[in-house]
């Protein structure tokens, strides 16, 4: 019997890679998406598969389907997109979680939440371990995303405690790779697009803020391992790459890989932009036997190839 797996946000960047991997691994996939930031092109290669089904649906409304597992990824993930309609962003995280948890409860299905490192806000401890409660502004322009995701985590753990639901919560750190949105304002896609167009590469602040970047294949591996882990491994589990790079360092690598003639330009730091973010992945290593294996340069090369084709 093939497992029937629901992926919400399946036409998005991470969702499309997840759908493909699950089908390759022998599951039947139901992809649900409202195409707010997702694109049919992302899952075009799966449309002919008898093991893939696509459904246009907004998860803030109830959904009645029959599946064995749910990966809840639906939510705009980049500031440009989640700040476009912040009320809808919170609704997607909160009402969406309630609807998907209700579905999982009815079906006795295991459900995984794509949470985020943003639950740590502008962290006061480095690197962040899962027991750090975060430093989040509840009323700022990023709050619709950060607090929405925090509330979704609360709901997951309450459904677990109150209804005995099998849950998994992954706290995903900065992930990049082919099928990222070219215009989502995220640093990797921004830099590559600017470099390929020969435009100045925009650094916010002096570029000394650091980020860790996880290649999409590694991340998908982590999500699947978490879903398949024993039921007591509920998470939250950090999934990300521990190698830290300054934003300036990233800009220089992108310029080198694209052979671009772009210069570096400077803009003021946006409000609530964290100075540093780095995961502690000890738990993922011990509980899932997971750690990223793709080096930044190798992942960037594949991402640059995708954007070149896209342009």
Q: Looking at beta carbons only, is 11 or 29 nearer to ligand NAD?
A: 11
- CB neighbours (10 Å) of residue 285? 12
Member of 7, 19, 30, 34 binding ligand NAD (CB under 6 A) = 34
33 is a contact residue toward ligand NAD (CB under 6 A): yes
Q: Is position 71 annotated as part of the catalytic site? A: no
Min separation Cβ 311 and ligand NAD, Å: 19
Q: Looking at beta carbons only, is 128 or 174 nearer to ligand NAD?
A: 174
Here the tokens at position 72 are 């809840």
Member of 30, 101, 172, 195 binding ligand NAD (CB under 6 A) = 172
- CB neighbours (10 Å) of residue 197? 12
Residue bearing tokens 């075009």 = 44
Q: Cβ contacts of residue 137 below 8 Å, gap of 6+?
A: 121, 122, 143, 146, 272
Member of 74, 97, 111, 201 binding ligand NAD (CB under 6 A) = 74
Three-state SS across 112-178?
EEEEEHHHHECCCCCCECCCCCCECCCCCCCHHHHHHHHHHHHHHHHHHHHHCCCEEEEEECCEECC
77 is a contact residue toward ligand NAD (CB under 6 A): yes
235 is a contact residue toward ligand NAD (CB under 6 A): no
Q: Looking at beta carbons only, is 4 or 211 nearer to ligand NAD?
A: 211
Here the tokens at position 5 are 């797996």
Min separation Cβ 76 and ligand NAD, Å: 5
The sign one gets for the Cα dihedral 181, 184, 186, 188 is positive
59 is a contact residue toward ligand NAD (CB under 6 A): yes
CA angle 279, 280, 286 (to 5 degrees): 130
Select from 172-180, 220-228, 257-265, 300-308 the region that touches ligand NAD (CB under 6 A): 172-180
The residues of the shown chain that bind ligand NAD, judged by CB under 6 A, are 8-9, 11-15, 33-38, 58-60, 73-77, 92, 96, 114, 116, 172, 174-175
Q: Which residues are known catalytic residues?
A: 145
């Amino acid at each position: 019997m093939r497992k029937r797996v629901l992926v919400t946000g399946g036409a998005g960047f991470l969702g499309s890679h997840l759908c493909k991997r699950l089908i390759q691994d022998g599951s039947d996939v139901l992809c649900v998406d409202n195409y707010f930031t997702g694109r049919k092109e992302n899952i075009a290669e799966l449309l002919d598969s008898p093991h893939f089904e696509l459904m246009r649906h907004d998860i803030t409304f109830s959904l009645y389907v029959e599946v064995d597992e749910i990966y809840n990824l639906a939510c705009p993930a980049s500031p440009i997109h989640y700040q476009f309609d912040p009320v809808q962003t919170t609704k997607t995280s909160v009402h969406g979680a309630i609807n998907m948890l209700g579905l999982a409860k009815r079906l006795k299905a295991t459900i995984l939440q794509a949470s985020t490192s943003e639950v740590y806000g502008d962290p006061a401890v480095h690197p962040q371990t899962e027991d750090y409660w975060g430093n989040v502004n509840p009323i700022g322009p990023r709050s619709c995303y950060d607090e929405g995701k925090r509330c979704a985590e609360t709901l997951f753990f309450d459904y677990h405690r109150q209804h005995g639901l099998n849950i998994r919560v992954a706290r995903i750190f900065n992930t990049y790779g082919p099928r990222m949105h070219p215009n989502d304002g995220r640093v990797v896609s921004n830099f590559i697009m600017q470099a390929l167009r020969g435009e100045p590469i925009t650094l916010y602040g002096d570029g000394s803020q650091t980020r860790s970047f996880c290649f999409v294949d590694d991340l998908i591996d982590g999500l699947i391992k978490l879903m398949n882990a024993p039921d007591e491994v509920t998470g939250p589990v950090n999934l990300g790459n521990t190698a830290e790079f300054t934003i300036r360092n990233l800009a220089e690598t992108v310029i080198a890989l694209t052979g671009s003639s772009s210069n570096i330009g400077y803009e003021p730091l946006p409000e609530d932009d964290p100075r540093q973010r780095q995961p502690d992945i000890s738990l993922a290593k011990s509980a899932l036997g997971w750690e990223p294996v793709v080096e930044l340069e190798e992942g960037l090369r594949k991402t640059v190839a995708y954007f070149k084709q896209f342009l």
